[in-house]
Amino acid sequence: MANIKSAIKRANKAKVRALRNRAVKSTVKTAIKRFEEAVNNNKVEDAKILLRKAIKVIDKAASKGILHKNNAANKKSRLAKLYNKIAG
């Protein structure tokens, strides 16, 4: 454990940030899972709405630095490819 006051503060900040990052990553995974579920059930209209939501969540995570921009782009590309398969 840190002894210096500033190091203690930094450790506390790191814990808070880690919790926030974990929450955002969880939100991203949930949005993707819901979209994939709609795709698997061939619900095109639901999938369209959920795709937009998933992309929005992924973009927010990337802009905050929680996901790398290339990782976010790969996720969005994969989801778009899935949607295009069922959309036509």
Tell me the whole-structure pTM to 2 decimals. Answer: 0.89
Q: What is the pLDDT of residue 12?
A: 96
Could you list the mean pLDDT of each consecutive 10-residue stretch along the chain, which spans 88 residues? 92 97 98 97 95 98 97 98 92
Cα distances (angstroms) measured from residue 37 to each of 46, 50, 64, 66: 10, 10, 27, 24
Q: What is the pLDDT of residue 28?
A: 98
* Structural domains present in the chain: 5-87 (1.20.58.110)
Q: What is the pLDDT of residue 72?
A: 98
Q: What is the pLDDT of residue 78?
A: 97
Q: What is the pLDDT of residue 87?
A: 87
